[in-house]
Amino acid sequence: MSMPDRNPLSTEGNIMKLIALEEAFWYDKLATKGTPEGQVPCKPEILADWVRRLSDFTEFRLPEMDKYGIDMQVLSLTAPGIQAQSDPEIAVADARLANDYLAKVIRDYPGRFQGLAAIPLQDPERAAAELRRAVNELGLCGALVNDHTQGHYLDEPQFAPFWEAMEELEVPLYIHPSPVPSDEWKVLQGYPGLEGAVWSWNHRTGGHAMRLIFGGVFDRYPKAKIILGHMGEFLPAQLSRIDNRYQSLDLKAQPRLPKLPSEYFGTNISITTSGVFSHSGLLDAIEVIGAENVMFSADYPFEKNEEATEFIRTAPLSSEDKELISHGNAERILRLKP
């Protein structure tokens, strides 16, 4: 598709290439009812617009990408997706169907889309097999899971086959929030606005990542890589305190880590800017984990492409750092062709 109206997001007079990583879609033929509809505390008209856009590629998505200068979206099945399915057999079948559909979309619009595979972690052995198929046969560039799978987290020992496949394939896993909580927090009771993107999702998903660190997943699988959205679910801003307090712990029931929690960022954990269009937040994250570990994302259709692209266009960064964040890091971490 041509881009006659493409906005000049410039760095020193040149058009900035933009790859957006956390961009959602939905496929209506899945047996799993996994769209956000009815699960997110949101105004009905906004929710209806999201649902319409999730299944669309030509009416809204591509024209907006052209208008705001987004060269490529890396697509993933919207939350809670496959993780919402309680039947392992259906989860495996739906993951396969979703990934086949995603691969077709990528073929139909060459150069405009790539994809992260849906993974049926309800059955870890078959999840590993589906990841291998999605990467080796369908050409997808990684995987995405929506936080927990039926209350189970990826530090648990049954997921060893999946992590082995992740290391073997050398692709990243995006850990995304889920609108379906694994348990109830009393602190949220009576305040439904706190449950969701406003507050709880960041902490639940960040907690999942901390379980991976504290559970020694990256020590057992040192080549494994994950991506966290929403400016790293705000973990970079807390790493100094996490390290400080970790060093003071008297751990008896859990082995001590071979390095500080912060040191897994960069080596095993990178982040995206999805839905957090704050220059101060971006600069803080870069100071803590380095520009080479931060990637641009919009979080379409839940956030506006206009705001996301204006945020990165006007970011007070060097041209080198802006190129890394806008596309260079994504090309390296997801092994995309420049």
Residues with catalytic function: 299
Cβ atoms < 10 Å from Cβ of 210: 17
Distance (Å, whole) CA 154 – CA 162:
9
Contact of 107 with 142, CB cutoff 8 Å: no
Handedness of CA 262, 223, 73, 182 (dihedral sign): negative
Bridge partner list, 158: none
Taking the C-alpha atoms of residue 61 and residue 208, their distance in angstroms, rounded to an integer, is: 31
Residue 106: helix, strand or coil by DSSP? Answer: helix
Contact 53, 61 (CB under 8 A): yes
The Cα 72–Cα 314 span in angstroms is 20
Strand partners of residue 74: 114
For 46, the token pair is 């906004």
Beta-carbon neighbour count of residue 273 at 10 Å? 28
d(CA 126, CA 99): 14
Distant-in-sequence, close-in-space partners of 214: CB < 8 Å, separation ≥ 6: 155, 254, 257, 261
Cis geometry, peptide bond prior to residue 80 (ω within 30 degrees of 0): yes
Give the three-state DSSP class for 149.
strand
Query: Residue 57 in contact with residue 84, Cβ under 8 Å?
Result: no
Strand pairing report for 113-115 and 72-77 = parallel
